[in-house]
Amino acid sequence: MPKVAIVMGSKNDFATVKPAITVLNGFGVESVVRVLSAHRTPEEAHKLAAEAISEGIEVIIGCAGKAAHLAGVLAASTILPVIGLPIKSSTMDGLDSLLSTVQMPAGIPVATVAINGSENAALLAVQILSLKYAYLQEQLWNYKEVMRQKILSDDNALQEELNNEKT
């Protein structure tokens, strides 16, 4: 079973991270969820990333707010793909988190999603895993078709509403 680690800088981030766990569960991807800080528990964060491959983890999502260095710290300690999830904080509406996550030095890549974009972080992890687990590709196409049908249904409902207003 594919496995993704989701590492939060604070337990306060859990509400933002929960949709990612839901998405991963929906695709049958196991998630290992931890609270580790780039600044307060750097040794433990390094250890998790360094041992991730031997633990069967294939993608890491690093979630942090404010001085959001967690994803970069994790990426520095592994060769696995790391996805940064900047968390909205009271400071600068999360722009500080986004910039801290996305501005990585050459050689330490972190794929970064939108502020509080936990669903997209999980979907990106599933897309990466689908390169190895072909059954995830079909599930991803089905996911996109469900979204497509929802939009078409919404469009039809709007057109009916607008037509009813004309009469």
Residue ranges covered by each domain of the chain: 3-132, 136-167
- Alpha-carbon distance values, 71 to 61, 68, 154, 164 (Å): 7, 7, 37, 51
Give strand ranges (E) for 13-112: 30-35, 59-65, 82-87, 111-112
Task: Please say whether the beta carbons of 104 and 75 come within 8 A.
Answer: yes
What is the C-alpha separation between 113 and 59, in angstroms, rounded?
A: 14
**CATH code that applies to domain 3-132:** 3.40.50.1970
Residue 53 gets which letter from DSSP?
G
DSSP bridge partners of 63: 8, 85
pLDDT tens per residue across all 167 residues of the chain = 999 999 999 999 999 999 999 999 999 999 999 999 999 999 999 999 999 999 999 999 999 998 899 999 999 999 999 999 999 987 789 999 999 999 999 999 999 999 999 999 999 999 999 999 999 999 999 999 999 999 999 999 999 999 998 87
Q: Shortest CA distance to 53 belongs to which of 77, 23, 34?
A: 77
Helices (H) and strands (E) in the chain, counts: 6, 5
